[in-house]
Amino acid sequence: MASQNMDPAAAAASSTAALKGSESGGSAARSSVSKRLQQELMTLMMSGDKGISAFPESDNLFKWIGTIDGPQGTVYEDLRYRLSLDFPAGYPYQAPRVKFVTPCFHPNVDDQGFICLDILKDKWSALYDVRSILLSIQSLLGEPNNESPLNTTAAEMWQDQEGETKELLLCYTVLHHMIYCTHSTALYTQRSKACALSSDRQQGLMEL
């Protein structure tokens, strides 16, 4: 009943003050996240880790573009992948949204580029940073989790890397990369010859 007798001007002033307080709190939170991301950028640049990098996209500190080089000794060797990293206002207490921009044929990556990786989901911790995320994804390329695949075809090929199945896995990997990076064409030609695939099989793969 007391609220019905409140002076309209006082109510408006109260609402305005509350809104300003909310905006101030939101600005403070974004400032805190911005400082954290700036520190992570410096840490990543000074780390000297080979095969990973990431930088903010344009002037938006909450959206980054990362790159990962495929691990040596795997079907992803000599391939470079781009990823997008979107950081929420609740970072680092909430995990960033990370996905492949470059098409990636992998058991734990779906056709939209989303990644099945525990540290990006239920195992996320505020102790993780951009560097640890990129290193974990790079490691995942060579050591997939076939128990929870997003790409069942890739998972089946990975489990049976013998004979022609391994040859197909090699070529599928480069073909998916070619969708985004035209310079992969030469690598595909090189690998398809090394795989000794029949001309009919090579043509079939190129038409996928």
The residues pairing with 64 across neighbouring beta strands, listed in sequence order, are 56, 85
Catalytic residue among 104, 116, 181, 195: 116
Residue 171 annotated in active site: no
Closest C-alpha to 141, from 112, 162, 115: 115
Rounded to the nearest 5°, which phi and psi values hold at 161?
-85, 65
Three-class DSSP labels, 56-111: EECCEEEEEEEEEEECCCCCCECCEEEEEEECCCCCCCCCCEEEECCCCCECCECC
Q: Catalytic site residues?
A: 116
